[in-house]
Amino acid sequence: MTTPTTAQTTADPTAPAWRNGPWVMALVAIALIAGQLFNNANTPQPVLNWYSSSGLKNLEWNNYLSWLRFNNQSALSQQLEARAAMDPHAYSAALFADDFVADSQRRAHDFWSPAETEQWKRLREQIPAQVATSNLYRWGLPNSSPRPARFFTAPFTGGSLWLTLAAVLLLAPLASTLERRLGHGRVLALWILGCLVSGVGYLLLASPGQVPFHGPAAPLLIWFGAFFGLQHSPLQLPIWHPKHKQWQRRPVSPYTLLPLPIAVMAAVALFSTPLLANLSAGIAAFIAGLLLVQIMQPQPIEPEQHDNSPMDPQQLSSLTRGWDALGQLDGDAAHAAFAQVLTREPDHFDALTGQFTAQQLLNDNASWESTAQQLFCSPATEKGQATQVARCWQQYQQRSGAPLSAAVGWTLLKTLTRAEEFQPAEKLARQLDDHSLKADAIAQLRARLIQEGLTHRAKTLA
């Protein structure tokens, strides 16, 4: 039985800049930060300044406040006046409210002179032209022209620069894992959908006249959601090891990183206005990421079954318990389960790979290195097995680096060749001593390099 592999490009550790690295997320992050620098949208909204300076606000609101006091609603009148003292644009919703315009016109006969009524009508006619000159309304989502296409440019406009930087930095620990598992195209598609979903979430609680949707913090939460939607097993994250004074990859529960999106949501809620609309945008993006990634993630490919004989039920039960224990980060239970299989079948591939991970959890370095070398001796001829061994070899180098014997090393070199991990294979070939397996291993690697058009590298092999 072979663990299913995923239909995605095998990571090549020798080309991190353009192939393995999260370059789509990096380019989007750079564009977002540049957008805040060159179009920060922090300047006052021209249309709201005009509403105050033209005299239109005084006309309409003096009319409305007088009507409230005249109708024994002085408490509401005082609340509105107090709100205006704290926010000069507290009355901005009236600019677009048709009901308020109709009420003002009805009250005009009681509180305005004919000249004031004519002035009010003339100023009201200027509003469309004033809205068109407002940067935020042109880049965001103005009430006068709610085109969904604006959602895709709004994240590159405005918002707090420090909030954008904080969201990008908190996303950095997740970026490499997310883009490696999903692929560049799916990550870009998620961003585009995140802009649309967060914009819709914003409109659920935004009211006319409020600042239009802008800023990238809310759309970025779709990537956070996608990351957590993918996690069903421990992550291999770089952790500083003080004893060895180097970074080493260790298995970590993905839920330890859950405070990152929570921190972004809290910052969006506390430092973005309007509060509820922006929080709604962020939550909508995060939930969309959780759900969409279930559809977009690469589907597992079941390996070919070369042995038609049914598996021993006891062996299958032990393997199942082992993988379940790994999913719960229970190294002891996983180690015991896989050991039961290896006692009866020492070369069982699935049990070896499971034991390899379990012993990492237990930090049992001596046993782990022994299991690793046994795994590297595996023929790994079934579909997907060579790729799994190559990944284990990468982890072995990062954590241990202990040299391999020639017999183990030349067998591993053949496996790396089948996994198309050519540069690691070439590097390993230069480190190994002579052995009877060398000629065949070098011949296989040389043939594959020539097949890939890398004849110049094939000629350098001894």
* Residue ranges of domains in the chain, CATH in brackets: 5-41+150-236+251-300 (1.20.1540.10), 46-133 (no CATH), 313-458 (1.25.40)
Which residue, 130, 123, 78, is CA-closest to 104? 123
Q: What is the average per-residue pLDDT within 4-19? A: 42
CA-angle at 131, arms to 125 and 136, nearest 5°: 170
Please, where are the H alpha helices in 206-251?
217-230
DSSP string, 113-135: -HHHHHHHHHHHHTHHHHHHT-H
**Residue 383 confidence (pLDDT):** 66
Asked if residue 42 has pLDDT above 80, the reply is no
Helix, coil or strand: residue 43? coil
Distances from the Cα of 218 to the Cα of 197, 362, 457, angstroms: 10, 39, 48
* 125-134, 218-227, 269-278, 347-356: which is most confident: 218-227
**Residue 244 confidence (pLDDT):** 58
Distances from the Cα of 309 to the Cα of 79, 306, 316, angstroms: 80, 9, 13
CA-angle at 44, arms to 38 and 48, nearest 5°: 140
Distances from the Cα of 241 to the Cα of 75, 238, 446, angstroms: 64, 9, 38
Phi, psi of 251 (to 5 degrees): -70, 130
Helix, coil or strand: residue 305? coil
CA-angle at 292, arms to 288 and 294, nearest 5°: 130
Sequence-distant (≥ 6) Cβ neighbours of residue 39 within 8 angstroms: 135, 139, 156, 157, 158
CA–CA separation, 435 vs 330, rounded Å? 40
Distances from the Cα of 301 to the Cα of 9, 96, 298, 384, angstroms: 13, 55, 9, 9
**pLDDT range class, residue 5, cuts 50, 70, 90:** very low
CA–CA separation, 9 vs 12, rounded Å? 9
Enter the pTM of the model: 0.48
Which residue, 142, 171, 196, is CA-closest to 22? 171
CA–CA separation, 184 vs 390, rounded Å? 22
Which is more confidently placed, 325 or 6?
325
- Determine which of 214-228, 243-257, 375-389 has the lowest per-residue pLDDT on average: 243-257
**Residue 138 confidence (pLDDT):** 42
Q: For tokens 């070098």, name the residue.
A: 442
- Judge whether 181 and 230 are in contact, CB under 8 Å: yes
